[in-house]
Structure 1
Amino acid sequence: MGWVKHIMGWNTPKPFTKNVSRSREPHMPFGLTLGSHASIKAALRLELAGESDIVVPDDSQILAIGTLDIGSGCRLVRCHLDNEHYFIQCLMNGPRASHIESLILFGYHEVKTLSSLQEQARLTGPGAKIGMPYYELEHVEYVRQWGTEDGQTQMTALTEHVITAEQSYAIHHQCMLYARNLRLANRREFLLLSLETDEPGNLSLTTAVGVTLQLSDLTIFQ
């Protein structure tokens, strides 16, 4: 399946090379860099069994890093994996690698290419499900995390600046975050809905489901 690779500009990926300049890379925690590998402990699969349908991926290489400025000195940094269904998102509350606040493993549930403004309005405009206080996906209910309105709230506009070993580009997001509690200590499940526009102007609606990661869940190696 190549839909995520198409959106992220990875249709013809090249092997990672050490000759790429590192000056464009954001400051990242514990060795997360382009070309490094992320290993999530196998025990997390057992821990999530019966609580979440998220499938923990095998060891994966980081093919792209995206940075989103969310204001107040905070940023989201996304490590997009060579298993195209997944990315690891870090919430950073400062410019340094030590300023990590939380980690979430996201897996794409669906990527839907939109063909018209009418379809966009139907899925994300006034009266649509997205932005309402509650959202149901696969018979699971999530609670809206952004906005205080009793009814629908607007999606949040963010721009993701992405770098790979060969190129850099921007993806524009209109997104909404939902979450639910799990019967697990220090873990929640998240639902991220994003209307995404790439630089050529292609429009898609992505649905990603995530789960809290602890620092001890993640091992990074080159």
Structure 2
Amino acid sequence: MSWIKRLLGMQAPLPAKADGRPAMCPQAPLGLASGRMLCLDSKLALLLADASSVVVPEDEKVWATGSVDLGQGTRLERFYLDNEDYFLQVVMHGNGANDIEDIILFGYHQVTTIASREELLRLTGPQSKVGLPFFELDGVEYQRQWGSEDGQTELVPMLERVSNPEASYQVRHHSMLYARDLELTNRREFLLFSVEEDEEGNVALSSAIGVTLQLTDITVI
């Protein structure tokens, strides 16, 4: 199964494997970096208005960048905006700045600070709906993209390396991705759950709704 089907299809990302070769320094896509301005086409909001629940943000600077190595030359590059409700995720297959396979704009739906193991199990454990083949949110049904089990599947572990003008750090994720088709050409809507743990041991559960973007939707200045 191809890497894109692992990412957005029926299998979870494979863990990275060391092959003994020196790691290449990946290049940031689209000219994005901390301090650069992300501008989305003004027509995008109208296009998505009746199709997706994602609200397109105004022009915003990138505050922080994140990178997740999925293995086999595939990675996620994330760009967190000054408006903390949003991040742009670029799926890369290769180390070049032009090795872009997919672009998704995510807006956070909810972030819950986890105070105990019991609360984490209640929200993401066997009695929760996260990881089941289908998930309904606000009357909209999404289909699970990772895992082929008939019942609940485990969340996928990922390590994100994050940098901003003030610090660099790591965040451990345990995530599950859902998606649904939109009545728009080459666009889907996504629902991403992630249990996030920072280096200080703080844990939160986030949910974010995303939509596919095209290169023509984006200008970086």
Structures share fold, TM-score greater than 0.5: yes
Q: Which residue of 1 aligns with 2:131?
A: 131
Report how far residue 199 of structure 1 moved: 0.9
Report how far residue 42 of structure 1 moved: 1.1
Q: Which residue of 1 aligns with 2:156?
A: 156
Cα distance in structure 1, aligned partners of 2:44 and 2:190: 16
How much identity, in percent, do the aligned residues show?
52
Q: Quick one: which amino acid aligns to residue 192 of structure 2?
A: L
Q: Which residue of 1 aligns with 2:61?
A: 61
Report how far residue 166 of structure 1 moved: 2.0
Are positions 1:207 and 2:201 aligned together? Answer: no
Q: Secondary structure at the match of 2:29?
A: coil
| Structure 1 portions without partners, runs of 5+ | 1-24
Q: Which residue of 1 aligns with 2:197?
A: 197
Q: Quick one: which amino acid aligns to residue 90 of structure 2?
A: C
Cα distance in structure 2, aligned partners of 1:26 and 1:99: 10
Report how far residue 125 of structure 1 moved: 1.1
Report how far residue 33 of structure 1 moved: 1.3
Q: Secondary structure at the match of 1:30?
A: helix
Q: Which residue of 1 aligns with 2:217?
A: 217
| Correspondences of 1:25-64 after superposition (within 5 Å) | 26-64=26-64
Report how far residue 26 of structure 1 moved: 4.6
Report how far residue 30 of structure 1 moved: 2.2
Report how far residue 73 of structure 1 moved: 1.1
Aligned length: 197
Cα distance in structure 2, aligned partners of 1:38 and 1:220: 5
Write out the 4+ residue segments of structure 1 that deviate beyond 3 Å after TM superposition: none
Cα distance in structure 2, aligned partners of 1:202 and 1:74: 28
Q: Which residue of 1 aligns with 2:77?
A: 77
| Correspondences of 1:152-191 after superposition (within 5 Å) | 152-191=152-191
Q: Secondary structure at the match of 1:122?
A: helix
Cα distance in structure 2, aligned partners of 1:156 and 1:95: 23
Cα distance in structure 1, aligned partners of 2:202 and 2:119: 14
Q: Quick one: which amino acid aligns to residue 167 of structure 2?
A: Q
Kept in 2: contact 1:127–1:152 (CA 8 A): no
Q: Which residue of 2 aligns with 1:16?
A: none
Q: Quick one: which amino acid aligns to residue 153 of structure 1?
A: T
Cα distance in structure 1, aligned partners of 2:46 and 2:190: 19
Kept in 2: contact 1:78–1:88 (CA 8 A): yes
Cα distance in structure 2, aligned partners of 1:91 and 1:127: 32
| Structure 2 portions without partners, runs of 5+ | 1-24
Report how far residue 127 of structure 1 moved: 2.9
Q: Quick one: which amino acid aligns to residue 95 of structure 2?
A: P
Report how far residue 71 of structure 1 moved: 1.4
